[in-house]
Amino acid sequence: MGNVNKNIEEAARATAYVMERHEEIKNNPLRQKYHFEVPAGWCNDPNGFSILGGKYHLFYQHMPYVSEPGDYKMYWGHAVSENLVDWEDLPVALAPVDECDEGGCWSGCALELDQKVYLMYTGLDARNGMQQGQCMAVSDDGIHFTKTEDSPILADTLCEADKKDFRDPYIWRQNGEWNMILGSTKDHFAQALLYRSNDLKNWRFINTMAESLGELGSVCECPNFFEIGGKYILFISPHGLNLRKSVYLTGNFDYPAGKFFWDTYGEIDWGMDYYAPQVIKDGNGRCIMIGWMNSWNWMPWCDGTYYTSKMGWCGGMALPRELRLDELGRLHFEPVQELKNYRTEPAEMVSETAGEEGISIETADNSHCEMIIDFNLKGTTAEIIQLEVKSNEKEKVLVNLNLKLGEIEFDRSHTFDHLKSKRRCSFRSVSETACRIHVFIDSASVELFTDDYMTCMTNTVYVPENADRIKIRGIGGRVKILKVQSWAIKKN
């Protein structure tokens, strides 16, 4: 492999460049206030989301020198947090400077073993037509990584699956063995492949753990596999599944056969900007999920141009969420409790009604806030409950709760989004007598939670700095508002 320190040298150079650029852009009004955001350059999928040395670590796909995906020759960025909200940028961890990964250090995972930190990732091999293979890097301090001489340690699927789409390792320990799931495809049908090892280096193929017959798309990306309450859950981010982009399956896992039998299928987030989530179990037993808040150009609402790229950065993460599994095998995704520590200046409004003229909501900071809104659906005559946020009347975001059709529509067509995008999903609460929506607004995003946190919509939003009005209105009748609780969110 040559000089094993090439990675450390290039990572240091990239880090210096990124932090210098960060000083130039850090005060831009479109920079997020309480979400993780790349300090400069480009970021996409979370990688190696883990607890190392008692702290939360977030690695991520990163382009330090440009603020768009470019040629996908990815590095790994790195940040650390004690509370999932305050993130400290650490030096770049991986750079695509070796033959095994010269085409890019793509997604993967991290684990701690014998006081060392290991990164397993997909490298694009320059010696073999940019063939995807699974590589390893190791660190004594969890910051500076050296790639192993034998990378790629798994260069072949060892089965009939496509070797060109063979990526995104996720590793866990079970029954005294290391288990690794990889995303792939066969005959244009997505597959999740299972491997096992005793030493993290010598892997044997076990089975096609799950495969698509059309319902899981054409390629499986970024698989995660974990257990909650006696049920196993598989996350995948599929290609070729039209409007679906991150899905979960719940079911049972036969360990000897290496086969996952799923019986529940759901969407992780119905917004336009949520992809490739990763999950950890923390010291309190919580399953915590984090996902990329942006889109790829193969999604119908994205053409590969990104609004903040021209300003020197693009990409960040949605709010971390705690997962809960109900008795029907459905997942609920609730923002982590740590966010409550950043609430300031609480306000409350009770027992109001609104028609098409609307009623204004005032928080201490309408551009960086949290709202919990309860509606009396039984007492509402409106066909649509409309929430207008990030508004100066010309530019605005509209969230339409359509009680007649049982749908939610997120409409950012009145913003700087040149594709004039809208996104719809089912609204389960329409059959109830009351409903709650939970909304987080930051400089360049709106995240909506409802249906007891089963339905999430995450979206980036770009509007002028003066677009900060919030209003609730009833369309085609009046809406009965039980309570609005709001807080400004401020970090120290």
Pair 385, 330 in one domain: no
Distance CA 356, CA 382 (A): 9
* Active site residue ranges: 45
The pLDDT value given to residue 49? 98
Question: What is the span of the domain harbouring residue 147?
Answer: 3-337
Q: Under a CB-based contact definition with an 8 Å cutoff, are residues 353 and 490 in contact?
A: no
Pair 330, 354 in one domain: no
**pLDDT digits 0-9 by tens, 223-254:** 999 999 999 999 999 999 888 999 999 999 99
270: left (phi over 0), alpha (psi -120 to 50) or beta: alpha
Strand order across the beta sheet in which 203-211 lies: 166-174, 177-186, 189-197, 203-211
Closest among 492, 448, 458 to 342, alpha carbons compared: 492
The pLDDT value given to residue 129? 82
Last residue within a domain, chosen from 337, 365, 381: 337
**pLDDT digits 0-9 by tens, 63-114:** 999 999 989 999 999 999 999 999 999 999 999 999 999 999 999 999 999 9
The pLDDT value given to residue 127? 82
Q: What total of structural domains would you count in the chain?
A: 2
Q: Under a CB-based contact definition with an 8 Å cutoff, are residues 318 and 35 in contact?
A: yes
Whole-number mean pLDDT of the chain?
96
325: CATH:
2.115.10.20
Last residue within a domain, chosen from 337, 355, 385: 337
Distance CA 429, CA 435 (A): 6
Query: Over 80: is that where the pLDDT of 1 sits?
Result: no
Structure tokens at 311: 């300003």
Per the DSSP assignment, residues forming a β-bridge with 155 are none
Pair 354, 379 in one domain: yes
Q: Which helix (H) or strand (E) holds 93?
A: strand 88-94
Closest among 482, 225, 244 to 378, alpha carbons compared: 482
- What's the whole-number mean pLDDT along residues 288-298? 96
Residue 340: phi and psi, rounded to 5, are -65, -25
Pair 331, 351 in one domain: no
474: CATH:
2.60.120.560
Last residue within a domain, chosen from 280, 314, 337: 337
**pLDDT digits 0-9 by tens, 316-364:** 999 999 999 999 999 999 999 999 999 999 999 999 999 999 999 999 9
Pair 385, 327 in one domain: no
The pLDDT value given to residue 316? 98
Pair 331, 349 in one domain: no
Q: Which helix (H) or strand (E) holds 401?
A: strand 396-402
- What's the whole-number mean pLDDT along residues 259-288? 97
- Give the whole-number percent of the chain exceeding pLDDT 70: 99
- What's the whole-number mean pLDDT along residues 257-263? 97
Work out the angle at residue 262's Cα, subtended by the Cα atoms of residues 301 and 203, and round it to the nearest 5 degrees.
90
Pair 366, 285 in one domain: no
Distance CA 177, CA 169 (A): 16
12: left (phi over 0), alpha (psi -120 to 50) or beta: alpha
Query: Over 70: is that where the pLDDT of 407 sits?
Result: yes
- Reported as a pLDDT band with limits 50, 70 and 90, residue 3 is very low
**pLDDT digits 0-9 by tens, 299-310:** 999 999 999 999
**pLDDT digits 0-9 by tens, 133-147:** 999 999 999 999 999
Pair 363, 285 in one domain: no
Pair 330, 375 in one domain: no
- What's the whole-number mean pLDDT along residues 398-409? 98
Distance CA 17, CA 38 (A): 13
Pair 226, 106 in one domain: yes
